[in-house]
Amino acid sequence: MIIIMDERGKKYLIDQKSEFQSDLGIISQEDIAKAEVGQSLITHLDKEFKVIKPNVNDFIDLMDRRCSILIQKDIGTVVAKTGLGSGSRVVDAGTGAGAIALNFGNIVGREGNVYSYEIREDFAEVAKKNIVSFGLDNIIEIKNKDIKTGIDEEKIDLVFLDLTKPYEIFENVYECLNLGGYLAVYAPYIDQIETSYRVAKKLGFNDLSIIETLEREIEVRTQGTRPKTRMVGHSGYLMFGRKL
């Protein structure tokens, strides 16, 4: 899979096994097959497309989504707080279209693993397709399974949950974590996160914290500089706990 961009800045996710067709003309399969980052591809209508280094965010923007995805800032907070890195072993549920798993897979790399649980078959199928398409199928395993029936993995560094009642499986989470491993819970409602906190505390998780992040964009205009008038007021709360 490569990402190309036309002269108007529009990006396209293209698969390297067929020719590319657009309103700006056709690029042959041979040209696509040998495309390298930074190179220009010319259509039969003499229009230029540039080959961009594939980035997980571009891919998620362009992929088949079907369901809402967590916004970027919350993923960043999880990565930063838990020290996630190359080689980490992650469990996440539920998968949805796979955006979170892709983000984690992109970070843990070939020496790491992501096990992503999704109860709905249709979502699991979409996610699998996306993972293959981005080329992370060696790293991410999509499991079409209810995580409440058990977590199959061991020695996990991070369990990330985006579920209606995440606290129902905290005992299993505790079991599967490495000493020093993290539980991270995303939930939009304060009641969910409050219950998560109380249950995690009871089960012996350490370093418990709940945070929310507000992200504000700043505009630089000719008249001056100011924050944007509208912003996202809430995407969700994040709870963190650690097995120590």
Residues 209-228 that bind its own copies (CB under 8 A): 209-220, 223-228
Burial letters for 61-86: b for 16+ Cβ neighbours within 10 Å, e otherwise?
eebeeeeebbeeebbebbbebbebee
Please identify, using beta-carbon distances, which residue of 121 and 220 lies nearer to its own copies. Answer: 220
Of 125 and 236, the one with the shorter C-beta distance to its own copies is 236
Site for its own copies in 38-57 (CB under 8 A): 38, 50-57
- Which residue's CB is nearer to its own copies, number 46 or number 225? 225
Q: Smallest distance from the beta carbon of 168 to its own copies, in angstroms?
A: 16
Q: How far is the CB of 216 from its own copies (least distance, A)?
A: 5
What is the nearest approach in angstroms of its own copies to the Cβ of residue 126? 20
Distance, CA of 130 to chain centre: 11
Q: Which stretch binds its own copies (CB under 8 A): 14-22, 25-33, 120-128, 192-200?
A: 192-200
Rank residues 91 and 124 by Cβ distance to its own copies and give the closer one.
Answer: 91
Q: How far apart are CA 166 and CA 35, in angstroms?
A: 44
Residue 8 binds its own copies (CB under 8 A): no
Q: How far is the CB of 218 from its own copies (least distance, A)?
A: 4
Nearest distance from C-beta of residue 144 to its own copies, angstroms: 25
Nearer to its own copies, 15 or 217 (CB): 217
Question: Residue 77 and residue 2: Cα distance in Å, rounded?
Answer: 28
Smallest separation (angstroms) from its own copies to the CB of 13: 13
Within positions 125 to 184, which residues make up the interface with its own copies, using CB under 8 A?
Answer: 155, 157, 178-181
Candidate ranges 114-122, 124-132, 142-150, 229-237; the one touching its own copies (CB under 8 A): 229-237
Residues 62-121 that bind its own copies (CB under 8 A): 72-73, 75-87, 103, 106-112
Strand-strand pairing, 89-93 and 113-117 = parallel
Nearest distance in Å: CB 32, its own copies: 16
Query: Among 75, 89, 73, which residue's Cα sits nearest to residue 180?
Result: 89
CB neighbour burial string for 174-211, b if at least 16 within 10 angstroms, e if fewer: bebbeeebbbbbbbeeeebbebbbebbeeeebeeeebe
Beta bridge pairs of residue 142: 116
Q: Are 144 and 209 in contact (CB under 8 A)?
A: no
Tally the C-alpha atoms within 13 A of residue 61's C-alpha that lie toward its C-beta.
11
Taking CB under 8 A as the binding criterion, the range among 25-33, 123-131, 141-149, 205-213 that sits at the site for its own copies is 205-213
Question: Whole-angstrom Cα distance, residue 33 to residue 1?
Answer: 10
